[in-house]
Amino acid sequence: MTMLVVLVLLSVMLLGGMALARLTEVGTLASGNTAYREAAVQASEVGLNTVFARIRDELGNEDTAQAGWYWPTIQNADANGIPQLDFDAAPTVTVGAYTVAYVAERMCEGALPVTRPLRQCLVKQEPQEIRCREAGCEELDPPNARQFRATVRVTGPKDTQTWVQSLITRGE
């Protein structure tokens, strides 16, 4: 009888030890996934800085698409807001074990060239002093800066993907 009780207790302890080992393994995997995600978000900063520099320095005519990384109008997007573009053809930057691909779109709708940017495009306007208080005097529109949406895809170890989007302002 004692032998039977010892075997039952030993079996219960064995099952408890296996459950504890499994919980520890799941916790380790979850913390590893969190570390991969945080590293991918940090790597996306390199992509955002790269696309910001290219918009600021290299983009001449905003109405002309640029070799797989820039579109002058908003592109079709999926349900998550990710543009339906070929990110495999987009320019990439390597950051450690991560590959960062980026694209940019000017936040404009309608036909090109953009003739009415204050109506066709998302712009950032800055308020001005009201200088015209007389009847019949027409006020000028405030200066504006165009908005661009940068989308960055980071591919990391185990083929994980992280997507980051940001608005970039380009003023005059």
Name the residue ranges covered by the structural domains of the chain.
2-170
- Tell me how many degrees the CA angle 40-45-51 measures, rounded to the nearest 5: 125
**Number of residues that this document lists for the chain:** 172
**Whole-structure pTM value:** 0.73
Other Cβ atoms within 10 Å of 2 Cβ, number:
6
Digit-coded pLDDT (tens) for 138-170: 555 556 788 899 999 999 888 889 999 999 988
- Max mean pLDDT among 61-70, 114-123, 140-149 falls in 61-70
* pLDDT bucket at 108, cuts 50 / 70 / 90: confident
Looking at every residue in the chain, the average pLDDT score rounds to: 84
**What three-state secondary structure class fits 103?**
strand
